[in-house]
């Protein structure tokens, strides 16, 4: 079995559920708990597509929560739409069941909470996910930043909201970048490349953000480093270098243990999920 453990993440398994944890966040495991759930046999968390997918996904979440000793009713799972909308969760809406794709959670791609035991979820299958922890104010966040979210800079919205709503100081915020598609595999056509070029030329780092790829079917292909863009945006908001932690893992390079929407077919692809809560 492949093990993704490296200098910043540790792979673990409990009751048959495989996950990654960030070493930096484990330093605060008296305050918070977090997991990035890997591909696990018999679990499919994707809710899109057929109506019965919701039931299958809920069963998957229940199994994960039970296996890891968490209360399934504490789950808060938005409907991610590649927006740059961030929501602060003050309280659970449902008392004896999860807030699972509730209406109020539609078109939400970033979550923040200061409340104990609320488990914030973000799913991906190639998209960037960033888990955040303000170690001074004890506030957590979870952000889904696909290429559209990266283009609209959702990570900045998340950090700004932590500052505005809770008085967070960016120098206290740890940002952990989960596995996602990386520049080695994130191939796009000219139209998408142009969008990134327009948006991020001001950084003067385009030569590190955009790489020219091969010509396929008479079309010039490009590779985009969306992880680097997220790091640049974090630094613009004064997140410290030592608090930007990158798993450095590509979903398409590790298909046996990570879901990838680009590798798995559109109908069949599964998703990984990041879960974080305050103890």
Nearer to Zn ion, 84 or 124 (CB): 124
Is 253 an interacting residue with respect to Zn ion (CB under 5 A)? yes
Nearer to Zn ion, 120 or 252 (CB): 252
Give dist(CA 246, CA 244) in Å, integer: 7
For the CB of residue 64, give the shortest distance to Zn ion in the complex, in Å.
26
3-state secondary structure of 60: helix
Dig out the tokens for 177 from the structure.
């970048």
Beta strands in 80-165 (DSSP E): 86-89, 99-100, 110-113, 119-124, 128-134, 139-145
Nearer to Zn ion, 82 or 185 (CB): 185
Is 275 an interacting residue with respect to Zn ion (CB under 5 A)? no
- Phi and psi at 239, nearest 5°, equal -70, 135
3-state secondary structure of 262: coil
Give dist(CA 65, CA 73) in Å, integer: 9
Is 185 an interacting residue with respect to Zn ion (CB under 5 A)? yes
Applying the rule CB under 5 A, the residues between 153 and 182 that interact with Zn ion are 182
Is 252 an interacting residue with respect to Zn ion (CB under 5 A)? yes
Is 227 an interacting residue with respect to Zn ion (CB under 5 A)? no
Nearer to Zn ion, 161 or 231 (CB): 231
For the CB of residue 184, give the shortest distance to Zn ion in the complex, in Å.
4
Q: Which residues bind Zn ion (CB under 5 A)?
A: 182, 184-185, 250, 252-253
């Amino acid at each position: 079995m492949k093990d993704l453990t490296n200098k910043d993440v540790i792979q673990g398994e409990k009751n048959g559920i495989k996950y990654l944890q960030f070493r930096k966040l484990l330093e605060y495991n008296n305050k918070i708990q977090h997991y990035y759930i890997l591909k696990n046999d018999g679990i499919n968390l994707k809710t899109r597509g057929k109506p019965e997918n919701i039931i299958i996904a809920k069963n998957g979440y229940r199994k994960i929560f039970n296996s890891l000793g968490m209360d399934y009713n504490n789950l808060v799972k938005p409907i991610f739409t590649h927006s740059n909308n961030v929501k602060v969760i003050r309280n659970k809406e449902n008392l004896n069941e999860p807030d699972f794709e509730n209406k109020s959670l539609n078109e939400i791609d970033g979550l923040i909470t200061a409340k104990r035991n609320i488990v914030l979820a973000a799913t991906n299958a190639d998209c960037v996910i960033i888990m955040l922890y303000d170690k001074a104010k004890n506030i957590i966040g979870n952000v889904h930043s696909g290429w559209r979210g990266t283009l609209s800079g959702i990570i900045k919205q998340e950090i700004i909201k932590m500052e505005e709503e809770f008085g967070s100081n960016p120098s206290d915020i740890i940002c952990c970048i989960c596995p996602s598609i990386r520049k080695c595999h994130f191939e796009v056509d000219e139209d998408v490349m142009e969008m990134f070029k327009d948006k991020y030329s001001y950084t003067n780092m385009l030569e590190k953000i955009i790489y020219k790829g091969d010509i396929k079917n008479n079309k010039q292909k490009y590779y985009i480093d969306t992880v680097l863009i997220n790091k640049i945006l974090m630094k613009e908001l004064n997140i410290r270098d030592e608090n930007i932690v990158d798993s450095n893992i590509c979903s398409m390079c590790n298909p046996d243990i990570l879901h990838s929407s680009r590798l798995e077919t559109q109908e069949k692809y599964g998703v990984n999920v990041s879960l974080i809560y305050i103890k």
